[in-house]
Amino acid sequence: MSRIVLDLSNEKWQCEHIRPGQGIKEEFHKIPCERQGSAFNWNYVKIPGDVYTDLQRVGEVEDPFFGQNMHKMKWVQEQEYWYMCKFNVPVEMEGKRINVLFEGVDYSCNVWFNGHELGGHEGMFSQFAFEISPFVNFAQWGGGSNILLVRLDPPPRNFERVSGMKFNYNGDYHTGLVPFGIWRPIKLVATENVKIENTRIESYVNNKNARVSIDVLVDNLVAKSENMTVELTIEGKNCDTKTITKSIDTLISSGENKISFDMDIDNANLWWPWDMGEQNLHIATIKILKDGLLVDEVVEIFGIRQIEMAMNPGYEKEEAENPWTFVINGTKTYLRAACWGGQPSLLYGKNSDEKYEKLLNMVKEANVNHLRIFGWHPPEVPAFYNLCDELGITVWTNFTFSTNVIRKELPFGDAMINECMEIVKDRRNHPSAIFWMGGEEVSFTDAHAESGNKKLMSMIGEEIKRYTNTPYGLASPLSNETGIKMGYKTKESQHANEHYYGAGHIFMEEYYPSLDCCIVPELTAASAPSVESLKKFIPEDELWPMGMSWAYHWADIDYLKILNVEVFDDVKMGSLEEFVEATQLAHGIILQYALEFYRRRKPYNSGVALCHFITHWPDIKWGLVDYYGEKKLCFDYVKRTYSPLLVSLAYDKRRWEEKEEFKSAIWVVNDYYKSFENLTIKYKVTDENSKVIAEKIESIQKVESASSKEFINIACETPKGKTFNIAIELLNDKNEVIAENEYTLLIGSQSKAKAICKEMRLDADKRQIEMPGFYRYFPEKWV
């Protein structure tokens, strides 16, 4: 065999924690392989994993996510952790160059092997490796004849010094624990002196034909140059692409060698997002041969697709200078997106491939075609991108610069940029990865405007061109007040979060139409998870009436009450069940209004992303799906609102006076790349007792491909009562329903409701000034 890989994640690992610096004094790094008592009482742990989950598993800490436990275990991050693995090295590796490869350690560590210190590493996202060939013992002992020791340092506590190299653990929805651990696998990799270091795959699409360009970086670890053959084979993984093989005979010089292949493919099986076509995947097998014998081999799964960006129509150069419309294989698309909100757990040891599969299938079920990983969360693991490749869900990945002033001095700047490029190299061949972005909210405050944030984002953009053709965006948002001060244009991108954070100051029907921009990468609404889920992390005596753990788990209690009033004319505080249900319905109704508004603006608006799809710990906040994988009631609103073929009601306000003339319009938004002909629109307006007020059936000749258009106006007198309903159906020529939607609006005074919500907000603001943080909800606890 040429390349042999042993995944040490499958071996037994133990861990001990001790005061920083004390492990060296105790000579942990000199622990021998033979059976002896020094490490008998070390905890058994899992790799990949995290420190807190391992400690919980063995009973040293309670569930970090229950109640306010996270603040009770801050001591955990004040210690260093020694990981130990004893294992046998396969005899087949003898005579090869053997490296121990770390795919990801959060955040910094030092490594010893068989008593030899190999070195250290800092940075969560970059892989690193050490050669151990001279120190390997090939004896096959019962307990393992080799010992690998990793000292994990206490995690960084000041995000400013590690931004870009670790995800942000501070902010308005984190509670004090800094995640850390060996979060990705550790492997032994044995190769010959000549090996394939990495590959870069780019595709160029011209109608049905394509060119695939593959750059192979070959590393020759000895001074001697040798003539070798590099062979590339491309074949279909889940499609009938004819196998293509090409060989290049070349001199492999000492050091790094770049070998480039160009393969023309007629009638190519392209990779598409799920709502645009098939998710055809291909296998690229790259081999190095010497005199016909295999020296090294790697396999890459990829998709043939091309990503370009186009300017949004309707904006002058003074308003938007960056392209925000995604063009996939020559076809413009609209992002019906969600901010991912993950990983599934903040604590890596609680994640699994099964969780990723369940949650990403829910993404597709909700008609989401795109996920944005923003800078508050780490770029995802391979299992995530693999599933997105298979499911046809595109991904926008931010680097982890989030809401902070970024240090300018070198070599810190070089380290940050290098970490970003390692993120790219590790993920660039996935067809689902269609966009990279520099920063999240790094043009957010006056301090940001005076900093070097803008320059750094541009520097990253220039550097990234060396590693991928996939488009890059500077930061999000650009067109907020500070971004404009920094020189960005007025209608590039906006975060639509102020309806939630400004609850009571402005109603949704006024706020969302006020944001005129090319793309909305973040749009916020929130709710509580189900009562059953709440019971898993809120202590029983704090469930109802609400106790401090609600606020500790990010519940903006005042905002939730105000938004209930905005949507229902009632705080809905009669019981726990009533409150939870109301917040979830309000969450859905707000998203329905906002997301449909931006979809109707297509193509001037090219995408909108709700915030979030999931959440990475048990919270009372933004996710459509709670931490335990349960859907909230708002999920179905988004599923209907994000249907590729949408029938949508455009209305100006949620409340209408009794016997006022109700006016609205019905639009059809078509994100499919086919037209629909000979359709019928049916609508029915009913009162709260289901009595019909108005109804109509109207034929429409055609809904164009990839379009958004108004078709029918509704005008009728509003009924008596508290609510009225509008149901809409779109039927094809076989009288089959192909799209449907429904809305419940209120009978009442919009101005009075605004005044009530405004008063509630002013009272909330006053209490926040008097008692900042979540103690404002429970001032009696501040003693």
Contact between 398 and 375 (Cβ < 8 Å): yes
End-to-end CA distance of the chain: 68
Q: Where do we find the tokens 């906002």?
A: 594
Distance CA 612, CA 545 (A): 27
Distance CA 402, CA 599 (A): 27
CATH number of 648-748: 2.60.40.2550
Largest CA distance in the chain: 91
Please count the CA atoms within 13 angstroms of the CA of 381 that sit on its side-chain side: 21
The CATH T-level fold of domain 4-191 is Jelly Rolls (2.60.120)
The pLDDT of residue 406 is: 85
The pLDDT of residue 409 is: 66
Q: Where do we find the tokens 């909330």?
A: 764
Beta bridge partners of 684: 695, 727
Give the residue from 672, 673, 650, 671 showing the smallest Cα distance to 662.
650
Tell me if residue 52 falls in helix, strand or coil: helix
Distance CA 354, CA 347 (A): 16
Distance CA 191, CA 93 (A): 8
> What is the CA 258 to chain-centroid distance, rounded?
32
Q: Which two tokens stand for residue 782?
A: 């501040």
CATH number of 331-528+588-642: 3.20.20.80
The pLDDT of residue 783 is: 74
Distance CA 491, CA 371 (A): 22
Give the residue from 308, 206, 307 showing the smallest Cα distance to 266.
206
Strands (E), 441-561: 472-476, 493-496, 519-524
Distance CA 30, CA 432 (A): 45
Q: What are phi and psi of 296, to 5 degrees?
A: -155, 160
Edge-first strand listing for the sheet containing 676-687: 655-656, 737-747, 723-731, 676-687, 692-703
Contact between 597 and 520 (Cβ < 8 Å): no
Contact between 304 and 249 (Cβ < 8 Å): no
Q: What are the domain boundaries of the chain?
A: 4-191, 194-302, 331-528+588-642, 648-748
Q: Which two tokens stand for residue 96?
A: 């090869």
Q: How many residues does the chain have?
A: 783
Full 3-state SS string of 737-749: EEEEEEEEEEECC
Contact between 727 and 740 (Cβ < 8 Å): yes
The pLDDT of residue 180 is: 97
Where does residue 398 fall: left (phi above 0), alpha (psi -120 to 50 degrees), or beta otherwise?
Answer: beta
If you count DSSP H runs as helices and E runs as strands, how many of each does the chain have, helices first?
18, 36
Q: Which two tokens stand for residue 449?
A: 């405007």
Contact between 777 and 551 (Cβ < 8 Å): yes
The pLDDT of residue 411 is: 57
Q: Which two tokens stand for residue 41?
A: 């009482």
Distance CA 453, CA 341 (A): 24
Q: Where do we find the tokens 């801050």?
A: 74
Question: Is there a shared CATH topology between the 4-191 domain and the 194-302 domain?
Answer: no
Q: What is the DSSP string of 125-184?
A: S--EEEE-GGG------TT-SEEEEEEEPPPPS-GGGTBTTB----STT--S----B--S
Give the residue from 585, 738, 586, 724 showing the smallest Cα distance to 669.
738
Report the chain (783 residues): mean pLDDT per 10 consecutive residues: 92 96 96 79 95 96 95 95 97 97 97 97 96 97 94 93 88 78 98 96 95 97 95 96 96 96 96 98 97 96 98 97 98 97 94 97 98 94 97 97 79 84 97 96 89 91 96 96 95 97 97 97 97 98 96 95 98 98 98 98 98 95 97 98 98 96 97 96 97 96 97 96 98 96 98 98 92 84 79
DSSP one-letter code for 39: G
DSSP one-letter code for 89: P
Q: Where do we find the tokens 């210690």?
A: 79
Angle (CA) 132-181-375 rounded to 5° is 115
Domain 194-302 has CATH 1.20.120.1760: no
Distance CA 703, CA 700 (A): 8
Helix then strand then coil, % of the chain, to nearest 5: 25, 35, 40
Tell me if residue 101 falls in helix, strand or coil: strand
> What is the CA 606 to chain-centroid distance, rounded?
19
Beta bridge partners of 336: 608
Measured between alpha carbons, how far is residue 147 from residues 23, 33, 50, 103, 447 in Å? 16, 6, 21, 19, 49
Distance CA 284, CA 298 (A): 8
Distance CA 174, CA 59 (A): 24
Distance CA 11, CA 19 (A): 26
Q: Does the bond joining 603 to the residue before it have cis omega, within 30 degrees of 0? A: yes
Q: Is the dihedral of CA 591, 597, 603, 606 positive or negative?
A: negative
pTM: 0.96
Give the residue from 122, 81, 86, 85 showing the smallest Cα distance to 104.
122
The residues near 414 (Cβ < 8 Å, ≥ 6 apart) are none
The pLDDT of residue 410 is: 55
141-143-149-155 Cα dihedral, nearest 10 degrees: 160
User: Which amino acid type is present at position 329?
Assistant: N
Distance CA 189, CA 491 (A): 50
Contact between 152 and 80 (Cβ < 8 Å): yes
DSSP one-letter code for 776: G
The pLDDT of residue 775 is: 83
User: Which amino acid type is present at position 275?
Assistant: D
